[in-house]
Amino acid sequence: MTLSRLFSVIAFVGLCTFSTQSFACNGTIIDDAQQALLKKDLRQWPSETFGKGTPTLIIFYDYLCGYCKRSDIELENYLKKGDRSLKIVYRPLGKLGPVSQNISRSVLSAARQDKFNEFHNELVHYNDTPDDTFLMKTAEKLNLDIDKFEKDKQHPAITKMLDENNQLAKKLGIKTVPSFYLESCNIPHSMTEEGFEKEIGDAVSNTKAK
């Protein structure tokens, strides 16, 4: 069962908050300036909320990255178990060439018809390179307005989002994907279900202790 059957994507209604209190971080603690960069324009990106929606997990990734897909499935497995609390913000980079760029534009176009989560899951669970045929079949499967879907892929707002996202990745020093930002902690590598359990569990405990 995919996440699309369990949870629905919701839009941000305000800026996410980041904890300034330290917690066990299997990565690097980012400074206030980096946190400010992450918060800027965060609401425009697709997001999912589980439980109370804290803490916040921001994911920089690419749909042609196998480690990104595997980490997403591990996160999906983590979220299926127990009463979870988390807000996920998805920030595709589309930096691995024209095909990658086209896929990112497609999923962000689907988001403009409130179908990001469903389209995202189709991509994550597809074991081949998503070409134009697959992307179109997915759009049809999800009952998207095809004309709007195709037109929105080239929408200036999506172009701006991807350009600014890649600029932000450079400012943050992101060299590989996936790269996770959990509150003030940057984890620049793929993760397992157990890894998510530990890192998110620690962050949740820290939030409750505040």
For residues 118 and 128, give the distance between their C-alpha atoms in angstroms, rounded to a whole number: 18
Asked whether the beta carbons of 68 and 61 are under 8 A apart, the reply is yes
CATH of the domain at 117: 3.40.30.10
Strands (E), 51-127: 56-61, 86-92
Q: Which pLDDT belongs to residue 27?
A: 85
133 phi, psi to nearest 5 deg: -65, -45
Q: Which pLDDT belongs to residue 55?
A: 93
Q: Domain residues for 119? A: 3-209
pTM for the predicted model, two decimal places: 0.86
**Burial, 113: exposed, middle or buried (Cβ in 10 Å; 0-12, 13-18, 19+)?**
middle
Q: Per residue of the chain (210 residues), what is the pLDDT tens digit? A: 443 433 333 333 333 333 444 456 878 999 999 999 999 889 999 999 999 999 999 999 999 999 999 999 999 999 998 789 999 999 999 989 999 999 999 999 999 999 999 999 999 999 999 999 999 999 999 999 999 999 999 999 999 999 999 999 999 999 999 999 998 999 999 999 999 999 998 887 765 555
Strands (E), 1-144: 28-29, 47-50, 56-61, 86-92
Q: Residues, the chain, total?
A: 210
Specify the number of domains making up the chain. 1
